[in-house]
Chain A
Amino acid sequence: MSSPQPSDKYVVRKEYAEPIEAPDLSLKSWLRWIWRQLTSMRIALILLLLLAIAAVPGSLYPQRSADPNGVILYFKNNPDVAPWLDKLQLFDVYSSTWFSSIYLLLFISLIGCVIPRVGVHYKALIAPPPQAPTSLSRLPAYKLVSDKKNKLTKAEKFLKARRFRVIAEGDSIRAEKGYFRETGNILFHTSLIGVLVSVGLGGALSYTGQRVLVEGETFVNNEAGFDSFTPGLLFDSKNLTPLSITLDKFTTTYDYLNPNNYGRPLDFTANVSSKLANQEPTAEVIKVNNPLMLPNSKVYLTGNGFAPVIVLRDADGTVSFSGPVVFLPQDSNLTSLGVIKNPDAQPKQYGMKAFFYPTVAKLKTGALTSAHPEIINPLLTMNVYVGDLGLDNGIASNAFDLQTHGLKQVVGGKSGVKGIQLERGETATLPNGLGTVEFKGIKRFASLDITYNPGELYVLFFSILTFLGLILMLIIPRRRVWVRRTEEGIEIGSLAKSKDESLDKLVREVAKAMKKKD
């Protein structure tokens, strides 16, 4: 397929495409051989394909970075295989040793390939177009025209008008254009290094934290203020910008206009007050595609739901628990599941597993469900468990999960007591002298993500450079043209660096230009 390339200099790193000479077994030559191999185009190509293949498992297995709950679930469902897969780092593909080795090798190869080219290109930029090869007729585009009717000066003029760099010496012309192709190529590859470095450094200096805020609650930006906090390797929590955010109001809008789209969410809006240190609070709006930009942090709206306000009283009327409880949505109509723990109850600690239905409806099976995501006919149902909640031993426990092992169920299930069902404003008495439970009201909550990544802007900057470089290197043709007078006539030959369709056309145009009369 490949046609002979007449100009050796013109093929990038051609020497590596040729067979390696008989090996000299010294260490130095081995290293040199490895380096040559690594920086060859063929190895870059193979590493790219390897990288593509290596990225696949990350889409097949849940990843700790993107879907931590998926990983937990996978372990639960496949207890035999999961630990083995974990040993192969299949749940952390993109930070795994094997994935990292491939892209690091690729970048070493890239650096080794690009750096020498910077020097070569610089020399080409300041040097005149190269001398013609011995035989122009072997070039991919060639034409021989008569000496009598044609003028070399015309060819020179034509090529100059076409923005070629032209050197005319006696009976021959050499011309070249499209230097930006290589400039773009180098820009593309070096900017890729920029992207990698800024992704890496940015990630190390970044943090991301989650916080669930119920209407009226305030969050203060320090590590303890987050529900979960993931700092980068180099992040110092002293660098957290002092600020506070209060969720004033959370509003949802659903579609009621269009029958076949009825009840679908159209908008989520969190009205917040944000306050920086020593400043007055300002009213702000956060939406799904509209994060709140604060100095060194961005606040995103990632989820929402209901937080029923619950008051628990002991038998003697003492309030042992009071406040909104965040319930996690289970479906699109916001059937929500919540856990209430009451360690301060007297005489015994107890916990509850509760469901909240904003608009309750009964399924054919008799089970309850929510028929609509907004509050029309809200209902709270709960089962009660008595026993040591395990909150006093200092071990952190999941606020959204009640470990019922070791607890005694006294309401719902097989306990013999029917599950409690409360409408808004109602109070029920708990069995065994546990006291009462009141469903006092309903608030909304918003899940917020607070992130900071100083590398972001640099990633964007280098990505744009990469893109510009890519356009230059792929669109601009690099061409050389030689015109010279020989005994047979005037020869025109042209050579391109890429698969160039219009090379013949260019040669014809040069021939035509030479013919023109003054």
Chain B
Amino acid sequence: MNSSVVLNPELATLSRIIVLAALTIYSLSFLVLAWALTKRAGAKKAKDAFANKLELVGISLMTLGVLVHGAGVLTRGIAAQRVPWANMYEFSVTGAFVVTAIYLVALIWRDLKFISTFVSGFVVLIIGCANTLFYVQVDSLMPALQDYWLVIHVSVAILATAFFMIGAALAAALLMKSSKFINNSKLKGVKLIRNVLKVVPKNEKLERQSYQFNIIGFILWTFTLIAGAIWADKAWHRFWGWDTKEVWTFIIWTIYAAYLHATTTRGWDGKRAAWLTLIGFTAILFNFTIVNLYFKGLHAYSGL
């Protein structure tokens, strides 16, 4: 990269508007999907025709949303003349796009419609935060980020996060389904949740599905870690130096390694493994938000 990069702030503004349009569509999708859930909770049978239709509308809206969203991500990249993941705003927006895209593609092979409300809600939350808290003007790359490893290391980290997110959503469903409180409580709100959970598959299936997303996430995360070390050796004169972000990448890796052991250890599979998934994903969110913004370290690329 040299001094001749011309940023396009007008296009960046347009990109922001497109992303906001996607946010609106996702919000609609979330509302429709939530409506479908309440319909389902009220219905006697698990397979309520109207609820099914609503669900289809919700998923279609999500698909429309992801197409618009993709255009927003692309225009941001063109406006910046580089990959659109060099600061927190871009990482969140691109990450939310990847989460939705992977989820929708996964729907082709697996019936994961029961977490659709969760996924759309999560995506709305991420884009909302990105737009209000993390937004920065389109900028050029500082010398430390000018390397092809930015393309590899960060994109794989985004992918890993997306897979872990879906794995965590499935683990959350498992924990709710096997929660004694939810299964026995006589509170009205809890009864509603219990009814909603009727459409959620059996625990064994949830466990398997969550495991499948988590192992792909883990492979990608391991790659992120190794690629990060190779880049750190190039840019920071050592492959590992316990920088705060390196520490948290390691912590997350270790938690998921423990999770993998748990899935093959009697007494630790099922609920406990699901808890580990949630702890792991919480660590990922912590790493992305708190560590980025408040911890001192070399990964100071939030742009804020």
Contact surface of A with B, Cβ cutoff 8 Å: 1-2, 12, 17, 41-42, 44-45, 48-49, 51-52, 55-56, 58-59, 62-63, 65-67, 70, 93-94, 199, 208, 253-261, 264-268, 287-291, 298, 300, 302, 449, 451, 453, 456, 459-460, 463-464, 466-467, 470-471, 474-475, 498-501
Contacts and interface: CB of A to CB of B under 8 A. Distances in A.
Contacts of B7: 257-258, 260-261
12 contacts: A45-B262, A45-B268, A48-B257, A49-B254, A52-B258, A257-B7, A266-B5, A266-B140, A266-B143, A288-B143, A453-B238, A474-B215
B188 interface: no
B255 to A, nearest CB: 5
B248 interface: yes
Size bracket of the B interface: 35 or more
Interface stretch (B64-72, B162-170, B223-231): B223-231
Q: Which of A94, A256, A289, A456 has the most CB of B within 10 A?
A: A289
Interface in B238-283: 238-244, 247-248, 250-251, 254-255, 257-258, 260-271, 283
B203 A456 contact: no
Contacts of B261: 41, 44-45, 48
Contact of A70 (B140, B269, B296): B296
Contact of A291 (B6, B207, B234, B283): B234
B233 interface: yes
B2 A55 contact: no
Given A59-B244, A291-B234, A264 B268 contact: no
A291 B3 contact: no
B26 to A, nearest CB: 28
Contacts of A49: 254-255, 258
A264 B203 contact: no
Contact of B269 (A1, A258, A265): A1
B142 interface: yes
Nearest to A95: B242
Interface string B180-193: 00000000000000
Contacts of A470: 218-219, 222
Contacts of B218: 470, 474
Nearest to B211: A499
Given A42-B268, A260-B9, A266-B3, 4 more contacts: A45-B265, A266-B2, A267-B2, A501-B208
B247 A255 contact: no
B229 A208 contact: no
A377 to B, nearest CB: 22
Contacts of A12: 264
A94 B143 contact: no
B132 interface: no
B227 to A, nearest CB: 10
A266 B1 contact: yes
B281 to A, nearest CB: 14
B111 to A, nearest CB: 12
A63 B242 contact: yes
Nearest to A267: B143
Contact of B3 (A1, A94, A255, A453): A255
Nearest to B241: A66
Q: Which of B207, B215, B230, B247 has the most CB of A within 10 A?
A: B247
B296 A67 contact: yes
Contacts of A499: 207-208, 211, 263
A442 B261 CA distance: 61
For the complex of A and B, the 5 pairs showing the least CB-CB separation, nearest first, are A1-B270, A48-B258, A288-B143, A52-B254, A300-B237
Nearest to B234: A289
Contacts of B250: 55
B48 interface: no
B31 to A, nearest CB: 33
B176 interface: no
Given A59-B244, A265-B142, A17 B3 contact: no
B144 interface: yes
Contacts of B262: 45
A135 B230 CA distance: 52
Contacts of A288: 143-144, 146, 235
B255 A463 contact: no
B16 to A, nearest CB: 14
A48 B258 CA distance: 6
Contacts of A94: 242
Nearest to A49: B258
A268 B143 CA distance: 7
Contacts of A256: 3
A95 B228 CA distance: 22
Given A45-B262, A255-B3, A51 B244 contact: no
B74 interface: no
Contacts of A298: 237
Given A48-B258, A257-B6, A261-B140, A17 B248 contact: no
Contacts of B295: 59
Contacts of B239: 453, 456, 459-460
Contact of A257 (B3, B146, B238): B3
B226 A2 contact: no
Interface in B281-304: 283, 291, 295-297
Contact of A59 (B204, B248, B271): B248
A449 B226 CA distance: 22
Contacts of A259: 9
B57 to A, nearest CB: 29
Contacts of B139: 260-261, 264
Given A65-B242, A287-B143, A467-B226, A260 B1 contact: no
A322 to B, nearest CB: 33
Interface string B1-15: 111111101000000
B219 A471 contact: yes
Contacts of B5: 255, 257-258, 266
Nearest to B137: A260
Given A41-B264, A55-B254, A499-B211, A467 B223 contact: yes
A261 B12 CA distance: 13
A45 B237 contact: no
A466 B226 CA distance: 10
A49 B243 CA distance: 20
A70 B291 CA distance: 17
Given A261-B139, A289-B234, A470-B219, A52 B255 contact: yes
B248 A449 contact: no
A69 B174 CA distance: 47
Contacts of A302: 237
Contacts of A48: 254-255, 257-258, 261
